[in-house]
Every structure is written in structure tokens, then in C-alpha cells.
Structure 1
Amino acid sequence: MGLLGILVGLAGLVFLSFRGWTILVVAPLAALIAALAAGEPLLAHLTLTYMPAAAGFVAQFMLIFLLGALFGKLMEDSGSVSLIADWMIRRLGTGRTILAVVLAGALVTYGGVSLFVAFFVIGPMAMQLFRQANLPRRLMPATIALGTTTFTMTALPGTPAIQNTIPMPFFGTTSFAAPVLGLLASAIILSFGLWWLGRAEARARAAGEGFDGLTADTVALTEDPVLRGKTATATGFDVSEAALPDPVPTPASVALALLPLGVVIVVNLLMSFVVLPGMDLEFLAGPQWGGATLGSVAGVWSVVVALAAAIVVLVATTRPARAALRATVDAGANASVLPLLSVASLVGFGAVVAAMPAFQLVSDWVLGLGGGPLVSLAVATNVLSALTGSASGGLTIALEALAPTYLARAAEAGIDPGTLHRVATIAAGTLDSLPHNGAVVTLLAVCGTTHREGYGPVAMTAIVGPVIALVVVVAVGTLV
């Protein structure tokens, strides 16, 4: 019954979240179902297992969610994202529409801009380019997804995406973990995606298929509470904020618009490999700081400082009016709360599941898979991300329950923790893109396509390509 309860709890989590129920209610309810089926004390698990785990996640990652949302909103309201995307598209031209859209999305998301900000900014520009190039609109979601939700979210070393920061305290790594494997995976995902989209474009042109115009009304998209609930666990930004006006002047040049993105990357790099390693942080071992180590805090500290520095540079270069700045900051800060609490709720659910006696069966099955710890980690993260429809949620549940075991097994096999980090993040970004994923639902709606029209191509660029990259990375990481 205990194992059945876990499965029923997971099924309820998937079904209700897919139907638009808020994860803040669904996650604790699913946890109670799992505890009830196992005959475990409900209130004890709710207050002494679920809540401490959720609160621990908030304490660990609140600053990253907050600063990430602030930076994304400032980049959007300053007009920087629009300027960068428009410049990128104009440089490459309509003859290379797919490449232009992919690179524009990759640039802004690798620089720290929220996934959904990128959707709502690049979407209309992609729509115009696809219309000018007479490309099928059904290929738009897959093109945008390739540039925003794949390699820049999980594989490319140094990306400040939350999916790349979650493993850091578990494995004592930085956002640049396993850079060679990350670059290899990024090259595979990008190459496969562009190859497949190129073939799809050629087939469409040969068949005389062109742009067919909008068939869905996306004006009221940000007012849809069901869609808003679906997006909550997939990003560091609330889709409802996308409809706010742009109160900050546009940067004077593309160089100024790109500067904050460069600051995120450079400061993160310097903090990770120069500043923090060169500091005397022995005081962290004291009881006042819980016996922390440099490895347990360096990754989070580096990303926090990088985002904060980028925000300062962005405000200094755009010089928004005080009222406009306050409105943007308020919107960004408020938008960080729902995603943070949503993922924390999934963490609480994962903690309750991991505390069930029957979870040992699941753990034994996953850990008993042949191929070593990397194969086991990849499968566990893949399955949980698919079930929750959230890369960050599935990743956190897997690491909360099994990270210490994977670290120990990796040490026995001579595998670097950075390799564990990179495999976990890439695995989280594969089957999370199933049809019930919030990012997928939003992206299809932004592009004015249905699941029937646009999901097949999305699956090719956001699932098949990353899965191929994951297999290669696991093989190389295990052998080398």
C-alpha cells in the first residue's frame, strides 16, 4: 500500500496541476495521500517533514529567485531584451530566420533573462519573421524552445538558470560544473535542433506549406488563471507580469543592452574561480554558520553577486524614473514569490515521499540500475521531472532524496561531483517538456498554436535532442 500511495500521490500531483490547480495546494495534498496510504501520521509529516523541507528550500534559494525575477523584469521593462532580439534578427536576416530566433533566445536566457520574459518578447518578433519568410507557424514554438529551454537552461556552463543552481549546494559545485561535458551537450542539442528544424523547413517548402496566420487570440493570454497556475513551477517569473507597460527608456545602443548580460557571466565566472577561492572562509566551519564549507555556498553566492551586480549596472545605464523603477521592482519582486513557493512545495512533497518506508523500494530500484551512478541519477531525475512537469521540481525532489548516496557512489567510482551536477541538470531538462509542462503550454499559446499543431516539433527540439545529449554525456562521464 505504501508504494501504491506514493504512485497515487504522484498521479494526483500530475493530474491536478495539469488541470490548473495551484501546486501550493496540490503538493501538500499529494503528500498527505502518500502518508495516509503508508499508515504514517499525517499531521506529523505535514508539519515536521513537509514544512521544514519547503522552508529549507526557500532559505537556500530565495535570493536567486528574487534577484533573477528582478533582473528579468528590469531587462524587459528597459527594452533591453527587445533591442537585443531585434538586433540579432536584423543581423542574420529573414533568410536565416530559424537561426536568428534560436540565437536571440539563447543570448537573452544565458544572460539571465527569465524564460517567460523571453517567450513574450521573442514570440512576436519570431511571428513577424516567420510571416516574412513564409515559414509554417507550427515550427515557431520548437524554434523558440530550442533557444530558450534547452542548452542555455541546463547544459551551457555558467548559466544562471535556477535548474543549474539547484545542484550546487548538494554537490558542492559551481554553475560552471563539468564545463567540457556542458559544452559537448550544448553542441549536440543545438546541432540536432538546427538540423531537424532545417529539414522540417525544407519539407514544408517542398510541400508548399507557408505561414498561415494566427488562429488563436493571445491578447488575453496573461489573464488566464489556469495558464498562470501551469507556469508557476517552470520559471522564475510570473507570466501575469508580461502584460505590464514598459516604464523605463530603451537603452541607447545594443552594446548597453548587452552589458548587463555580460556582467552576469563575467562576475559569476570571477566569483566562482577567483574571488571566493582566494578568500579566507574558515570561519564558516564554526557552529554559528552550521559548519558550512566553501563548496556548499560558493555556487549560490556567485550567482547572487552576479545578478546583483548586473541589476546595478542595468539601473545605472538605463536611469529609469523613480516611479518607473519602483513599479518594475515591485512587479519583479512579487513575481518571484509564486514560483519560489511552488518549487518549495514540490520539495516538501519529495521530502514526505522520501520519508515513506516504501520509498526504499523506489530508491533500491533506481540505485540498482546498471551502468553506475550517472545512469541512475539520469533516470531518477528524468522520471521525476516528467511526472511533475517541472525541471526544477523534479531535480530538487531527486537530489533531496538521493544526493548523498550519489555523492558516495561517485566517489567510489572516481567520478567528479561536477559530472553529477551536469548530468542531473541535463536530465531535468528532457522529459520535463511533456505536454503538461507549464512552459510548453505557455509557449504554444504565445505562438497561437495548439498541441496538435506545434507540440510534435517541440518534442524533437526540447526532448529528443537533449536526450541524445544526455546519453552521450553519461557515456563520456562514466568512461572518462
Structure 2
Amino acid sequence: MDIVGVLIALGVLVALAYRGWSILLLAPLCALLAALLAGQPLLASWTQTFMRNAADFIAQFFPIFLLGALFGKLMEASGSVEAIAVKMTETLGAGRAIFAVVLAGAFVTYGGVSLFVAFFVLAPMGHALFKAADIPHRLMPAAIALGTSTFTMSAMPGTPAIQNAIPMPFFGTNPFAAPGLGVIASAVMLGFGMWWLQMARRKAKLAGETYRYAGLTASDAISNDDRMRERGAVAHDFDPGEIARGGHAAMRPGFLIAALPLVVVVATNLVMTFAVLPRIDAHYLAETAWGSTTLSAVAGVWSVIVALTAGIVALLVTNFDRLPGLRSIIDAGVNAAVLPIMSVASLVGFGAVVAALPAFETVKVWVLGIEGGPLVSLAIATNILAALTGSASGGLTIALDALGPTYMEIAHQTGLDPELMHRVAVIGAGTLDSLPHNGAVVTLLSVCGVSHKDGYLDLAMAAIASALVALVVVITLGTLVGSF
């Protein structure tokens, strides 16, 4: 009955969440439903299991959500994201419209800009480019997703995406875990995605299909859609409702000024990871007052925090006079972090209650017994949970909360490199999270003015199939030659 109860609770959570019900209420209610059907104490399940685990997630990752959302909002409000996108399109031209959109998305998201911010800037640019090149606009969501939601989120070494930060406390890794495998995975995702999009473009041209679009603007598409806001906040680290709030620069900066903060984020992350943190004396962290932890458990998060802070400072210094109503922009940026982290933390709390049920041991044994070894079982576990929750970060945290210590034991026993597990887990979480009900998918299609019927197949091939192929490549290489 315990397993049936878990399935019922999960079914209710998924069904109501994607009808726009708030995950903040659904997650505890469904967790209590699972506990009730398993005969567990309800109040203790809520206050001692659900809330403690949700609070732990917030304590670990709120600084990254907060700084990431603020950085993304400042980049958008200063016109920097737009300036980078314009430069990419001017350089590559309409003849390479698809690649220009992909490259612009990759550039800004690898530098720390939230993908939701990128969506709203890239969509108008994409329409202009696709119209000039006479490419069907139904391919635009796939191009944007390939650049913003695949390799720069899960594979590129050092990416400040929250998904890349989540495994670090569990495995004692850093943002640059398994850099060689990450670069290879990125090349596979980009190569496969571009191959598919170019093939789809050729087929559309042979069929006589052209650019046809006369719809809503990007901000009109979701400004009054609360259901889309709820879905989007669960899916990623920026509240879409804050996109239209705050001022916007009347004139965008030059490309070098716009790109500088992104370069600062990546460079600072690299220096903190390999030069600064390894040299500091952090023995005090073992004391109870500092959480009885180790430097390896917090260094990765510290690197990203300092990198994003440096990027924000660089942006403010170079764009201060360009930011109208700075306080309102900052307010919108920090507010954009609250709903996403509370939503993901609620999913983590739900997962913790489920993991504490006696029946979960059966699930755990099944996952660890999957043929192919621990890397395959880890990839499948993160895939399934990301798909069910509609959140790469939520699914990844639930999986590692429940199974992370067990995988670390396996790593110690077998010599498996934690960096390899880190990269497999992150890429695994970034695949089936992009199913049709995912908040980011729904938002992107709406922003681009494309229906699921017209645009989802190409988006799935660019965002899901490419990541799955890369995941297979990484697991195969990691099994044969280890991490590098």
C-alpha cells in the first residue's frame, strides 16, 4: 500500500501542478497524503521531515538563486543581453539565423543569465532573423532551447547554473567537475541539435514553408498568465512575472561592455575554484558553530556566489548611468528569486517525506539494481524524477538527497570518481525535464508564439534527444576511461 500511496500522491502533485496550482501548497499536501497512506505521523512528517529538508535546500542554495536572478535582471534591464544578441546576429547574418540564435543564447546563459531572461530577449531577435531568412518561426523555440537549456545548463565546465551547483555539496566537487567530459558532451549536444535544426529547415524549404507570424509580443504572452508563472517558477531559477517589472535602458551598451560581466563571472569562478579556495585555511568549518562541515562541501557554492557577485559589481560599474530606476530593477531581480527557490524547496520537502517512507527502500533497491552500473542507475533516477517534477533542479535534489550518500559509498568502494557522478547527474537531470508540461517549455513556446503541435517535436529533438545522446556518450567514456 505504501508504494501505491506514493504513486497516488505523486499523481496528484503532477496533475494539479500543471493545471497552475501553486506548488507551495501542493507539495506539503501531497507529502502528507503519502505519509497518511503509509501510516506515518502527519505533523512530524510536515515539520520534522518536509520543512527541515526544504529549509536545508534554501540554506544551501538561496544565495545562488538570489544573485543569479539579480544578475539576470540587471543584464536584461541594462540592455546587455540585447546588445550581445544583436552583435551575434549582425556578425553571423540572416544566412546563419539559426546558429546566431543558438550562439547568442549559449553566450549569455553560460555567463550566468537566467534562461527566462534570455527567452524574452532572444524571442524578438529570433523573429527578426527568421523573418529576414524566411525560416518558419516554429523552429525558433528549438533554436533558443538548444542555446539556453542544454549544454550551458548541464555540461559546460564552470557553468553557474543552479543545476551544476546542486551536486557539489553531495559529492564534494566543484563547478568544473569532469571538464573534458563536459566539453565533449557540449559538442555532442550542439552538433546533434544543429544537425536536426538544419535538416528541419531544409525539409521546410522543400515543402514551400515560409515565415508567417503576426502574434503577441513576448511580454504580452505571459504577463497575465498566472498558471504559466507558477509552472515557470518551478522549472527554473527566475520568476517570469518579474521580467516586465523595473526600468529598462533607453540605449543598449556596446558589445564589449555588455559582454564584460559575463566574462567576469566565468573568470572569477575559475580563479576561485582553482587558485583561491584551495589555498585558504578553512579548518574552522569543522566546528559546530560553522555547521561541522568541510571546505570541499561548500567550496563549489562559494565559487559561484563570488563569481556572480563580481559579475554584478562589474555590470553596475560599467552600466550605472544606463540603469533607470535602479532600485526598482534590483527589487524586481531579488523578488524573482523568491518564488523559484520556495517552489523547488517544496519539491525537495515532498521528496524527503517520500524517501523517509518504509516503501522507499524498495524503490532504492530497484534503482541501485538497474543493469549497467551506478552511472546508468544514477542517470535513470535523475531523469525520472526531473520528468515527474518538471524541474531539473528539484528532481536532481530529490535524487541526491535520497541516493547521494549511497552513491558516494559505491564510489569509495569501486574507485568511481565523484566528478564523473556529478556530470552524469547534472546531464541526466537536464533531459526529460523538458517534457511538454515543463514550465520552461510552456513559457518558451508561448513567448515565441508557437503551439505545442507545431513546435514541440523540434524542441524535443534539440533539447531532449541531444542531451540523451550526450549522456550516453559521457557514461560510455566514463565507464571505459574514467573521468577527465
Range class of TM-score, shorter chain: over 0.9
For 2:463 and 2:253, the matched residues in 1 are separated by 35
Q: Tell me if the contact between 1:385 and 1:431 (Cα under 8 Å) persists in the aligned partners.
A: yes
For 1:250 and 1:174, the matched residues in 2 are separated by 38
Residues 255 and 322 of structure 1: is their aligned pair in 2 closer, same or farther, counting only changes over 3 Å? closer
Q: Once the 2 structures are TM-superposed, how far is the Cα of residue 290 of structure 1 from its aligned partner?
A: 2.4
Partner in structure 1 of residue 426 of structure 2: 425
**What CA deviation, in whole Å up to 9, does each residue of 1:206-261 have, x standing for no partner?**
11111111356752522210111110112221111222354446454211110000
Q: Tell me if the contact between 1:66 and 1:333 (Cα under 8 Å) persists in the aligned partners.
A: yes
TM-score normalised over the length of structure 1:
0.98
For 1:88 and 1:376, the matched residues in 2 are separated by 40
1:98 aligns with 2:98: yes
TM-score normalised over the length of structure 2:
0.97
Partner in structure 2 of residue 88 of structure 1: 88
Partner in structure 2 of residue 452 of structure 1: 453
Q: Once the 2 structures are TM-superposed, how far is the Cα of residue 386 of structure 1 from its aligned partner?
A: 0.5
Q: Once the 2 structures are TM-superposed, how far is the Cα of residue 339 of structure 1 from its aligned partner?
A: 0.3
Q: Tell me if the contact between 2:110 and 2:152 (Cα under 8 Å) persists in the aligned partners.
A: yes
Residues 123 and 353 of structure 1: is their aligned pair in 2 closer, same or farther, counting only changes over 3 Å? same
1:239 aligns with 2:240: yes
Q: Tell me if the contact between 1:248 and 1:318 (Cα under 8 Å) persists in the aligned partners.
A: no
Partner in structure 2 of residue 175 of structure 1: 175
Q: Secondary structure at the match of 1:233?
A: helix
What is the aligned length? 480
Q: Secondary structure at the match of 1:319?
A: helix
Q: Once the 2 structures are TM-superposed, how far is the Cα of residue 263 of structure 1 from its aligned partner?
A: 0.4
Instruction: List runs of 5+ in structure 2 lacking aligned partners.
Output: none
Identity %: 60
Within 5 Å, give how 1:323-402 maps onto structure 2. 324-402=325-403
For 1:381 and 1:304, the matched residues in 2 are separated by 25
Q: Tell me if the contact between 2:86 and 2:125 (Cα under 8 Å) persists in the aligned partners.
A: yes
Q: Once the 2 structures are TM-superposed, how far is the Cα of residue 12 of structure 1 from its aligned partner?
A: 1.2
1:270 aligns with 2:271: yes
Q: Tell me if the contact between 2:231 and 2:439 (Cα under 8 Å) persists in the aligned partners.
A: yes
Q: Once the 2 structures are TM-superposed, how far is the Cα of residue 411 of structure 1 from its aligned partner?
A: 2.0
Q: Secondary structure at the match of 1:203?
A: helix
For 2:254 and 2:324, the matched residues in 1 are separated by 23
Within 5 Å, give how 1:247-286 maps onto structure 2. 247-248=248-249, 250=251, 252-286=253-287
1:13 aligns with 2:9: no
**What CA deviation, in whole Å up to 9, does each residue of 1:235-294 have, x standing for no partner?**
221111222354446454211110000000000000001000011111212222222111
| Range with greater deviation from structure 2 (311-320 or 418-427) | 311-320
Q: What amino acid sits opposite 1:312 in the alignment?
A: V
Q: Tell me if the contact between 2:80 and 2:253 (Cα under 8 Å) persists in the aligned partners.
A: no
Partner in structure 1 of residue 406 of structure 2: 405
**What CA deviation, in whole Å up to 9, does each residue of 1:425-471 have, x standing for no partner?**
00000000000100000000011011111101011011111001101
Partner in structure 2 of residue 107 of structure 1: 107
**What CA deviation, in whole Å up to 9, does each residue of 1:296-337 have, x standing for no partner?**
010000000000011011001011478711111111111110
Q: Secondary structure at the match of 1:157?
A: coil
For 2:368 and 2:148, the matched residues in 1 are separated by 32
Partner in structure 1 of residue 304 of structure 2: 303
For 1:205 and 1:63, the matched residues in 2 are separated by 47
Q: Tell me if the contact between 2:379 and 2:425 (Cα under 8 Å) persists in the aligned partners.
A: yes
Within 5 Å, give how 1:315-330 maps onto structure 2. 315-320=316-321, 324-330=325-331
Q: Secondary structure at the match of 1:223?
A: coil
Q: Secondary structure at the match of 1:232?
A: helix
Q: Tell me if the contact between 1:415 and 1:478 (Cα under 8 Å) persists in the aligned partners.
A: no
Q: What amino acid sits opposite 1:144 in the alignment?
A: I
For 1:320 and 1:10, the matched residues in 2 are separated by 49
Q: Secondary structure at the match of 2:372?
A: coil
Instruction: List runs of 5+ in structure 1 lacking aligned partners.
Output: none
Within 5 Å, give how 1:103-182 maps onto structure 2. 103-182=103-182
For 2:322 and 2:441, the matched residues in 1 are separated by 35
